Amino acid sequence: MAKVPDLFEDLKNCYSENEEYSSEIDHLSLNQKSFYDASYDPLHEDCMDKLSLSTSETSKTSKLIFKESVVLVAANGKTLKKRRLSLNHFLTDGDLEAIANDPEEGIIKPQSVAYNFQSNVKYRFMRIINHQFILNDTLNQSIIRDISGQYLMAAALNNLDDAVKFDMGAYTSEEDSQFPVTLRISKTQLFVSAQNEDEPVLLKEMPETPKTIKDETNLLFFWERYGTKSYFRSVAHPELFIATKQGKLVHMARGQPSITDFQILDN
């Protein structure tokens, strides 16, 4: 068991320069969607050797941690890779060789989902579907307001009453598969507004909840859910998600090294 992280230690040097290895981010979390969304270049040959060697060395002593189906699905819905890992199942050298030599096991670059964003799409307000909830990132930090009150930031709290409470407004459009929502700070008219990549999200004051949104799509986010994790993809910039990062205000990011998955904590 103790040797499993060594494998990651060995592989650190195999990441290309633009791929930051950060232990703060949940590289080990199988349910983090952004892990699958990232585009990885195939590893160098020597790294592949190191991978098979390291796993072979540890295979007899390492129990797998997760009992989970790992399924990688392309944008068109075709299953690219499927593997069931079961608890207490020992990987044999034979298994590892098969995995290493299987051409299907190559790292797949997922296609980005094609979004159709004409300016004539109208989003109609339905109702407030969730009142006074808290947003926590994967470091269990809650979203709070910075001291200027203009921005949001993430912090570990002793008292969850100090966290910002949000209301989620549901919208509909002709696009069946999406779930557009607004995030408003409870008991205010301040709405979270998406900005450009790496820019902090703003809190925009609206006179009332917009009944229809056509041009002001910065206020809208596609709420995506994977297990217990929630993601907020900007309607205005569909490649960007609401994200947190240590030492940064809540901002818009494509994925790692920022944290884009959140947990919704109901009151």
Partner 1 sequence: MQSCRLWGVGPEIPTSWVLQKLLRTMYILYTLMLGVSAFTIQPEERTAAAGNCRFLGRHFKIDFMVEGEPVVLRCPLAWHRSLDSARPHVNMTWYKNGSARMLPGEGETRMWVQDSALWILPALQGDSGTYICTVRNASYCEEMSTELRVFEKTEAALTYISYPQILTLSTSGSLVCPELSEFVHDKTDMKVQWYKDSVLLDQGNEKFLSVRGTPRLLVQNISVEDAGYYSCVMTLTHNGTRFNVTRNVELRVKKKREETVPVIISPLQTILASLGSRLVIPCKVFLGAGTQWTTELWWMANDTAIDSAYLGGRVTEGQRQEYSENNENYIEVPLIFDTVIREDLNTDFKCVARNALSFQTLHTTVKEATTFSWEIALAPLSLVVLVLGGIWTHSRCKHRTGKAYGLTALKTGHQDFQSYASKIKEIK
Return residues touching partner 1 (CB under 8 A): 1-2, 5, 8-9, 12, 21-24, 26, 28-29, 63, 65-66, 68, 87-88, 124, 126-127, 129-130, 136, 138-141, 144, 146-148, 153, 155-158, 160, 162, 170, 172, 176-177, 179, 225, 227-228, 246-247, 263, 265
Residue with smaller CB distance to partner 1, 4 or 99: 4
CB of 123 to partner 1, least distance (A): 11
69-77: long-range contacts at Cβ-Cβ below 8 A with a sequence spacing of 24 or more?
A: 70/30, 72/36, 72/108, 72/110, 74/108, 74/110, 74/111, 75/110, 75/111, 75/112, 75/113, 75/114, 76/111
Q: Which residue intervals of the chain are DSSP H helices?
A: 4-11, 33-37, 45-58, 93-101
CB of 35 to partner 1, least distance (A): 14
Residue with smaller CB distance to partner 1, 172 or 186: 172
- The rounded radius of gyration (Å) of the Cα atoms in the chain is 21
What DSSP designation does 53 have? H
Yes or no: say if 245 and 233 are a contact pair by the CB < 8 Å rule.
Answer: no
CB of 26 to partner 1, least distance (A): 7
Residue with smaller CB distance to partner 1, 59 or 100: 59
Residue with smaller CB distance to partner 1, 42 or 227: 227
CB of 98 to partner 1, least distance (A): 26
CB of 259 to partner 1, least distance (A): 11
CB of 139 to partner 1, least distance (A): 5
The reply to whether omega before 257 is within 30° of 0 (cis) is yes
Residue with smaller CB distance to partner 1, 64 or 100: 64
Residue with smaller CB distance to partner 1, 44 or 131: 131
